Amino acid sequence: MNAPDSLPALDAAIAEAAARVLPRVVAWRRDFHEHPELGNREVRTAGIVAAHLKAIGLDEVREKVAVTGVVGVLRGGKPGPVVALRADMDALPVKEEVDVPFASRATAPWNGQECGVMHACGHDAHTAMLMGVAEVLAGLRAQLSGTVVFLFQPAEEMPPPGEKGGAKLMIEEGCLADPKVDAVFGLHVTAIQHTNRIGWRSGPLMASADTFRVFIRGSQTHGAQPWRGVDPIVVGSQVVMGLQTVVSRRVNIAKEPSVVTVGVFQGGVRNNIIPDEVKLEGTIRTFDEGQRGDIHGHVRRISEMIAEAGGAKAHVHIDRGYPVTVNHPQLTEWTVPVLERVAGADKVGVIDKVCGAEDFSFYQQAVPGFFFFLGCTPPDRDIATVAPNHSPRFYIDEDCLPTGIRALATLAADWLGANAR
């Protein structure tokens, strides 16, 4: 599978169609931004997406996939393989601080409290761009050699506690099976690159993300008589320090980087009472499955042995989250020249590994996949000081939208043509 040496015949048609649909993509993005919805609650967003896919004549439109997901199927005019394009639809429990006319004022319950809701990670742009891509390719279906599956996915930022959702549930409910998908592409807007710059990496791109909880039980006593009990706060503090040695002393960081962070330390209700128990909670990020398992073991052993040495007991729970996002090497080799053709070779480059996680990784475990980043920070702003994704001040320069539309549409059309039998 090789990238063509010359511009494909569809390039001009895709560019023209993308320009025509752009005003509506901008309008959709602003509408979604003003009316954000949390994971598994994207009812309004999904309704707008499904209505659009039906209006442009897709062959199939499936709703309520993985709770609120939408799957659209477009069969081209010629036989061929199947490629999928994915966009995530959910927002975050963040109160917006960006001064734009379409700023979110939405609120919703999250973890037992009413929170502001904001598209602080750009999923409004992802959804709007893929709606535009669907319209572009639907208008060119006679020239497509195969089938395009559009995956509008809920709950990338995790479903509410106690619920299933996201890419894993989409796959379980057959989004890659009927028709059987042969390859999948996705993108993510990012504040750490300037508008229309594309960042990519072959192999591991984004980290796995696991959550650990350590419950340390001591023996409650009066704060004035610590010798009469076992202080779980002191033991917990020693566990926190011990966990700092996992990456610095127990992991071969020359092979792959990793992160172990304790973000929660809870215990005690009064200044003169040593409590019975404290809770530690943190995250583990890795880029290698073997290393991931090793770190889990280190976290367990360090926590349990330090607690035992202090006369306490540690109970460790590790929840496996998203896997490593791994770009298929051969698919990457084919994809990069196409992206350079769309955006310009000077704007496409290799980036460092990203310690954030993405459930696009579940699709990549099932079929060859490629995920890339599209810069959305205006060129006159300093990347070092700009508000990052997940910030209440996260801002998208809408000049990136045409590049995203053209990139996904061109990748789909070119990949089908290159792999037609």
Q: What is the mean pLDDT of residues 151-169?
A: 96
CATH number given to 208-322: 3.30.70.360
pLDDT of res. 421: 77
- pTM, two decimal places: 0.95
The pLDDT mean for the chain works out to: 96
In the chain, which residues fall in CATH 3.40.630.10? 10-205+324-419
CA distance 69 to 87: 10
pLDDT band at 1 (very low <50, low <70, confident <90, very high): low
In the chain, which residues fall in CATH 3.30.70.360? 208-322
CA distance 318 to 324: 16
Query: Is residue 4 scored above 80 in pLDDT?
Result: no
Amino acid at 146: G
Which ranges in 141-231 belong to alpha helices (H)?
Answer: 166-172
How far, rounded to the nearest angstrom, does the alpha carbon of residue 186 sit from its chain's CA centroid? Answer: 10
Residues 6+ apart with CB under 8 A from 155: 39, 40, 66, 67, 68, 90, 165, 166, 169
pLDDT band at 8 (very low <50, low <70, confident <90, very high): low
304 belongs to the catalytic site? no
Q: Per residue in 216-252, pLDDT tens?
A: 999 999 999 999 999 999 999 999 999 999 999 999 9
CATH number given to 10-205+324-419: 3.40.630.10
- CA 26, 30, 35, 41 dihedral sign is positive
Residues 6+ apart with CB under 8 A from 211: 281, 282, 283, 284, 318, 319, 321
Which pair of tokens denotes residue 421?
Answer: 């039998």
- Contact in structure between 72 and 127 (CB atoms under 8 Å): no
Query: Is residue 6 scored above 80 in pLDDT?
Result: no
pLDDT band at 10 (very low <50, low <70, confident <90, very high): confident
Which one from 322, 333, 358, 395 is the annotated catalytic residue? 322
SS3 6: coil
CA distance 124 to 118: 10
Q: Per residue in 270-300, pLDDT tens?
A: 999 999 999 999 999 999 999 999 999 999 9
398 belongs to the catalytic site? yes
